Amino acid sequence: MQDRAWEGHAAAVARLAASYSAIGPGEPVRLAKQTTNLFRARAASTAPGLDVSGLTGVIQIDAHPAEGPPTADVQGMCTYEDLVDATLPHGLMPLVVPQLRTITLGGAVTGLGIESTSFRSGLPHESVLEMDVFTGAGEVVTTRPGDDLFDAFPNSYGSLGYATRLRIELERVAPYVALRHVRYDDPGLLAKTIEEITQTRAYDGAPVDGLDGVAFAPGEYYLTLARWTDDPGRSTPSDYTGQQIYFRSIQQKQTDLLTIYDYLWRWDTDWFWCSGAFYAQHPVVRRLWPASRRRSDVYMRLLKLDRRFAIADRLDRRAGRPLRERVVQDVEVPVDRLPEFLDWFDAEVGMRPVWICPLLSTGSTDGRSWTAYPLEPGLTYVNVGFWGTVHVGADAVHSPKNRAIEEKVHQLGGHKSLYSEAFYDRDTFDRLYNGPALAAVKRRYDPEDRLTTLYDKAVRSH
C-alpha cells in the first residue's frame, strides 16, 4: 500500500513538472487549485495553472518510529482537514493545525499559519523535518533545516517554488479537550498572564496544551486554556456545529468540553465570527442553512461574489452609509507591546472582536530567525487577527486603516502576515522581510526569474 502511495506521488510530481514546462516564458505561474485562503487580489489570467491534482493526500504515517517523534509524509496540497482525518485515528495530530479546514500544509508552510498550540510549538513550518520543493528551475529539491532554501521558504508565498512533499513531526493527543475561559479587564494583566503561561505551559497548577483568546471590547478580554484529556468526566462534549456558536460560548461559560476533532475546527464553522456577515448566525437562517455548508470555504465563495458584484458597496450607497474599507489582517506584536496595540486599535480602528493567539518562534538551525519572516526566536509574540470592514467614506480607496496598522505594527517591533493586502514601499518591505537575502535564494533556485517575487505578490498584486 505504501509503495503504491509513493508511486502515485512520483506520478503526480511528473504531471506537475509537465504542466510547468507547458507554461511559456513570461506567462504567470500559479497553482490550478479551487480553494484559497488569501485575501489579496490576483491579476486575472487565462494561462493554465500548475497541475497539482495528484498532490492532495497523505503518503505515509509513521506512528511508532524506532526513535524520534511520530511523523507523516504529506503532499503539499493536502488540506489540514484531510491531514487531521488521517492522523487522529492514530491518536496523533500535527503540532500546529491552522484554524480553517481548507488551508493546505504547503500553503501554511510557505504562507505561515498559527493556532492555539503555537505558544509552545511555533508556526507550522517549525515542525517540518524535510521537504521537496519544486523550484523555478523546474527541479525538485529536497531541503532540510539549515539549508538556504528551507530557511527562506516560510513566508515566501510561492516565490521560491512549491512544496510537493513535507515530512512533519506529529504529537500524541487525547480524544477530548477541557477548556477554561478566563476573563481579564486589564490588558496589562492579560499580557503578563500570556507570558507566564508561555514560559511555564501551566496556569493555576494545571497544564496548558492550547492557548488563545478573544478581545470582545475594551476591558473585556478572555484567554481560553485548553488541556488534552482522556477522561471527559461526567460532561458531555459541546457541539458548536449546529445552532450553538462557539465564540459566544466564551463569554457564557467558564468551562467547556470538546472532542479533539471539534476543538481543532471550532473556529471554522462560523469562520470565527465572520459568518454573521452572511446572516448565518441568525437563528432562523441557521436552522435553514445546512450544517455541511457552514464552512469557511463556503463563506469565502460568498465573499468572492460580493467582491465581484460590489454588493456591500451598493447597499451602503443606497442606505447613505459611508464606504467601507476592508480590514482583514493578522499581525504579530511582542507580548509586552500587546496592551499598547489593543488600546491603539480600539481608538483608531474600532473593530471588535479580535482574536489573540500567542506564539513562540523556535527559530531555524542554531536559533537563527527565519529568512523572510524574522521573528526573534525565544521572544513571545501575540498574533492579533481582525477580519471585517470599517466605514471610512470616500477615503476607503486609499486604505487608510490598513496603512495605519502597518505603521503601528512596525513601530512596535512586530510583523504582518502577507495573506491579505499590503501597502509597504519597496525599501520598507525589504527591511521587514529581509528582501536582499530572499532575492539571493531566489536567484539560485529560479535563475530565469520565472516565479513572481514576494513583493510583487504581496504588494503589487492589487
The residue to which cell 521587514 is assigned: 432
182: confidence class by pLDDT, cuts 50, 70, 90: very high
The reported pLDDT for the residue numbered 24 is 84
- Whether 432 and 415 have beta carbons less than 8 Å apart is answered as yes
The reported pLDDT for the residue numbered 69 is 96
Q: How far apart are CA 251 and CA 220, in angstroms?
A: 9
Q: Is pLDDT at 85 greater than 90 in this prediction?
A: yes
Q: Is pLDDT at 48 greater than 80 in this prediction?
A: no
Q: How far apart are CA 206 and CA 342, in angstroms?
A: 28
Comparing 408 with 33, which gets the higher pLDDT?
408
Q: How far apart are CA 10 and CA 165, in angstroms?
A: 10
Q: CATH 3.30.70 in the chain, residues?
A: 176-266
Per-residue pLDDT averaged across 311-316, rounded?
A: 72
Quick check: helix, strand or coil at residue 246? helix
CATH architecture of 176-266: 2-Layer Sandwich (3.30)
Q: How far apart are CA 457 and CA 461, in angstroms?
A: 5
32: confidence class by pLDDT, cuts 50, 70, 90: low
- Residue 74, classified by CB atoms within 10 Å of its CB into exposed (0-12), middle (13-18) or buried (19+), is buried
- Residue 444, classified by CB atoms within 10 Å of its CB into exposed (0-12), middle (13-18) or buried (19+), is middle
CATH for 2-173+450-460 is: 3.30.465.10
The pLDDT tens digits for 200-214 are 999 999 999 999 999
Which residues 6+ apart lie within 8 Å of 119 measured at CB? 194, 197, 198, 201, 211, 357, 358, 359, 360, 380
Q: How far apart are CA 197 and CA 327, in angstroms?
A: 30
Q: CATH 3.30.465.10 in the chain, residues?
A: 2-173+450-460
Nearest to 115 by CA among 99, 131, 128, 130: 99
